[in-house]
Amino acid sequence: KPYVDIKFWAQEKLFLVTNLSTQQGVVDSLGKEIIPCKFDHIKRPGEGFFAVKSLEERKYGYVNDQGELQVACKYNVADAFENGVAIVRKYNRGMGLINKYGAEIIPLKFSRVKVLADGQIAAKDKLDKVHYLKVVYHNGIARDVNCVSDQDAYFDYLRNGK
């Protein structure tokens, strides 16, 4: 198939390819198509899931490493999966956290969400209050969060890394 652009993801041993219609897809090192060229944008994978931007909805969702749509394309912003969760955003609602099944672990109502080095989540609400949360896993799947503490020190964390 003719491609106008090819980008190699060395760590994953995959190629991000763009066809003549500027649609993106992914092929492996043997040239086998993993994800067909039918997306507006594909981000580097995280934990076997690719954030993909649909041509029709112009929103992001997630495709697994078998090329199957796992999470519907309904987010304006979608980050890579890390520790079984991904940060997502809808402009009219806010930011939150989903699991690999698309379930909202943290509702999309926060102005900022950040995964911290210790695995905790800092979620800043629209009143600038910061909630520190810990993801709860059941049978290896992120299912819920527990509140660890509520503090107003989020920007101190960003500035100082503590």
What was the pLDDT predicted at 150?
64
> Looking at per-residue confidence, does 153 or 112 come out higher?
112
Report the predicted TM-score, pTM, of the whole model to 2 decimal places.
Answer: 0.86
In which element (H, E) is residue 148 found? strand 141-151
Tokens of 65: 């490493």
Angstrom distance (rounded) from CA 152 to CA 66: 42
Tokens of 147: 């509140």
Angstrom distance (rounded) from CA 114 to CA 37: 31
State mean pLDDT over 22-50: 96
What letter does residue 80 receive in the DSSP assignment? P
Q: What are phi and psi of 43, to 5 degrees?
A: -95, 160
57-64: Cβ within 8 A, 24+ apart = 60/88, 62/86, 62/100, 62/102, 63/35
Of 63-67, 70-74, 126-130, 144-148, give the lowest mean pLDDT range. Answer: 144-148
Share of the chain above pLDDT 70, in %: 92
Give residue-wise pLDDT tens across range 68-93: 999 999 999 999 999 899 999 999 99
C-alpha closest to that of 83 among 39, 117, 128, 44: 117
pLDDT class for 151, splitting at 50, 70, 90?
low
CA distances from 12 to 17, 52, 108, 139 (A): 14, 17, 30, 26
The count of other CB atoms within 10 Å of the CB of residue 119 is 11
Angstrom distance (rounded) from CA 124 to CA 162: 16
Tokens of 1: 């198939």
Which residue's entry shows tokens 């900022």?
112
